[in-house]
């Protein structure tokens, strides 16, 4: 060291301040985001922003006929993205539809993340009867085909329309709960795997030796290391939920008209494939681009938060 340290070690050691030379040279510092990440972020920002601000944006009424039926997109004098079979503005319908699709996807994955993530943490950390029971539970849930599970959950939650005095949850809530429950075992399994490997590290043993309780170890030592994997899988899960919502809509399980989601737009657009395919392709493109963006960002985030554990 060139500068004399003002303090001296009580043991008379030379103080080491600067990190190990090798430590910094091998560790590649974080680079800027690539163009693809920025495109993904831009797309998601536009989607989320327009969905959030749909009511204040100068959009046509998504449920009223405003143009000739099946008006083709990008023609002067009409809606920029054209009009559907009822003459409704496609742009406005895509944005309003996206709003519901995104709400369903985000909320259902948050349900899955909180419940599944928490159970996964417990299952990975307590490798005793509790862990075994949880793992068994996840396995059983994962063994049921997810579409079947989602459909049956929807039909149970929706209540019976023929019994008006029975309980009736709004369909959006039903979809959120159904997709959320389906995602619980998936998110739990991934969280558990990551927790398992981190909680076997010596620093966890060291924390126990210092008298740290289970809660402190789980939330201070383990969770921060597991969180990046959970976050990236959350984005991936949202992408899947958006697609899954579309799938359910095609099977006829979705919001009632005139409300729409990307899923219902795809479902109704199917019949226009011959005359006006854009009515189908526009919502498909919205789903596709959003899912790809989420997926890609999930990967980028995982890589960036993948801590360099050491210089060694």
Partner 1 sequence: MTDLTADPAEIVEPADPAVGEVLLQVTDLSTSFTSDRGTVRAVRDVSITLRRGRTLGVVGESGSGKSVLARSIMGLMPSNATRTGSVEFGGVEILNAPPKAMRKFWGEQMAMVFQDPMTALNPVLRVEQQITESLHEHLDLTKDQAHDTALALLTSVGIPEPARRLRMYPHEMSGGMRQRIMIAIALACGPKMLFADEPTTALDVTVQAQILDLLQALQRDRQMAMILVTHDLGVVAGRAHDIAVMYAGQIVEQASAEALFARVRHPYTEALLKSIPKLEMAKHTRLEAIGGRPPDLVDLPVGCKFAARCPYAQDRCREEEPELLPDPDDASHLVRCFFPVSVAASAALQATAPVAGEELA
Partner 2 sequence: MAGIGDAHLRAPGESLLRVENLVVEFPSGRGQKVHAVTDVNLDVLEGETLGLVGESGCGKSTTGKAIMQLPSPTSGRVLFGGQDLTDVKGEDLRTLRTQLQMIFQDPISSLNPRRRIEDIVAEGLNIWKTGTKSERADKVDKMLLTVGLDPKVVRGRRPHQFSGGQCQRISIARAVVTEPRLIVCDEPVSALDVSVQAQILNLLEDMKARYQLTMVFIAHDLAVVKNISDRVAVMYLGRLCEVGDPDLLYANPAHPYTAALLSAIPVADPTVKPDQRETLGGEIPSPLSPPSGCRFRTRCPRADDQCRNEVPVMAQVEGDHFVACHHPIAPGESIEGTVNLAGALAKALA
Ligand X SMILES: Nc1ncnc2c1ncn2[C@@H]1O[C@H](COP(=O)(O)OP(=O)(O)OP(=O)(O)O)[C@@H](O)[C@H]1O
Residue 57's binding partner among partner 1, ligand X, partner 2, none (Cβ under 5 to 8 angstroms by kind) is none
310 lies in the binding site for ligand X (CB under 6 A):
no
Kindly tell me which of 25 and 162 has the beta carbon lying closer to ligand X.
Answer: 25
Question: Which tokens go with 305?
Answer: 């938060």
Residue 213's binding partner among ligand X, partner 2, partner 1, none (Cβ under 5 to 8 angstroms by kind) is partner 2
**CB of 22 vs ligand X, minimal distance in Å:** 4
221 secondary structure, DSSP code: I
**CB of 25 vs partner 1, minimal distance in Å:** 5
Kindly tell me which of 20 and 69 has the beta carbon lying closer to partner 2.
Answer: 20
**CB of 198 vs ligand X, minimal distance in Å:** 25
**CB of 19 vs ligand X, minimal distance in Å:** 12
Subset of 254-273 contacting ligand X (CB under 6 A): none
Residue 4's binding partner among ligand X, partner 1, partner 2, none (Cβ under 5 to 8 angstroms by kind) is none
First to last CA, the chain: 22
Residue 83: strand, helix, or coil: strand
Q: Catalog residues that contact partner 2 under the rule CB under 8 A.
A: 5, 7-11, 13-20, 22-24, 27, 201-203, 205-213, 216, 220-221, 224-225, 307-312
278 secondary structure, DSSP code: H
Residue 23: strand, helix, or coil: helix
Residue 131: HSE in the Cβ half-sphere, 13 Å Cα cutoff: 13
Kindly tell me which of 270 and 308 has the beta carbon lying closer to partner 2.
Answer: 308
Taking the C-alpha atoms of residue 283 and residue 95, their distance in angstroms, rounded to an integer, is 10
How many other CB atoms are there within 10 angstroms of residue 65's CB atom?
A: 15
DSSP output for 34-63: PHHHHHHHHHHHHHHHHHHTTTTS----TT
Residue 28's binding partner among ligand X, partner 1, partner 2, none (Cβ under 5 to 8 angstroms by kind) is partner 1
CB-nearest residue to ligand X: 22
Q: Give ∠ CA 276-101-33 in degrees, rounded to 5.
A: 100
Contact between residue 150 and residue 85 where contact means Cβ atoms under 8 Å apart: no
Alpha helices for 144-222 (secondary structure H): 146-158, 171-198, 202-209, 214-216
Kindly tell me which of 1 and 29 has the beta carbon lying closer to ligand X.
Answer: 29
Element (H, E) at 115: helix 90-125
Q: Catalog residues that contact partner 1 under the rule CB under 8 A.
A: 1, 13-14, 16, 18, 20-22, 24-25, 28-29, 312
**CB of 309 vs ligand X, minimal distance in Å:** 15
Q: What would the x/- binding string for ligand X be over residues 9 to 48, using CB under 6 A?
A: ------------xx--xx----------------------
Residue 115 CA from chain centroid, whole number? 14
Kindly tell me which of 60 and 304 has the beta carbon lying closer to partner 2.
Answer: 304
* Rg, C-alpha atoms of the chain: 25
Residue 79 CA from chain centroid, whole number? 31
Residue for token pair 């060694």: 312
**CB of 241 vs partner 2, minimal distance in Å:** 28
**CB of 2 vs ligand X, minimal distance in Å:** 20
Q: Contact residues for ligand X (CB under 6 A)? A: 21-22, 25-26
């Amino acid at each position: 060291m060139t500068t004399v340290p003002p303090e001296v070690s009580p043991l008379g050691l030379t103080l080491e301040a600067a990190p190990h030379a090798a430590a910094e040279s091998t560790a590649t510092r974080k680079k800027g985001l690539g163009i693809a990440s920025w495109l993904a972020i831009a797309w998601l920002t536009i989607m989320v922003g327009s969905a959030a601000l749909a009511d204040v944006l100068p959009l046509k009424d998504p449920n009223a006929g405003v143009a000739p039926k099946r008006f083709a997109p990008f023609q002067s004098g009409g809606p920029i993205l054209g009009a559907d079979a009822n003459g409704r503005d496609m742009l406005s319908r895509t944005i309003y539809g996206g709003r519901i699709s995104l709400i369903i996807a985000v909320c259902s994955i948050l349900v899955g993340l909180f419940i599944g993530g928490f159970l996964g943490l417990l299952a990975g950390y307590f490798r005793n009867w509790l862990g075994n029971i949880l793992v068994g539970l996840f396995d059983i849930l994962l063994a049921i085909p997810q579409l079947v599970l989602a459909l049956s959950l929807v039909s149970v939650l929706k209540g019976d329309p023929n019994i008006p005095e029975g309980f009736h949850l709004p369909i959006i809530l039903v979809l959120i709960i159904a997709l959320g429950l389906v995602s619980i075992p998936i998110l739990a399994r991934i969280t558990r795997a990551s927790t398992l490997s981190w909680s076997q590290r010596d620093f966890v043993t060291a924390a126990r030796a210092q008298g740290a309780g289970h809660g402190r170890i789980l939330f201070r030592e383990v969770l921060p290391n597991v969180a990046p994997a959970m976050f990236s899988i959350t984005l991936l899960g949202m992408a899947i939920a958006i697609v899954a919502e579309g799938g359910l809509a095609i099977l006829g399980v979705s919001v009632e008209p005139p409300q729409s989601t990307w899923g219902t737009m795809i479902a109704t657009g199917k019949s226009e494939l011959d005359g006006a395919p854009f009515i189908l392709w526009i919502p498909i493109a919205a789903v596709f681009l959003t899912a790809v963006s989420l997926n890609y960002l999930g990967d980028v985030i995982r890589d960036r938060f993948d801590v360099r554990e050491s210089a060694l």
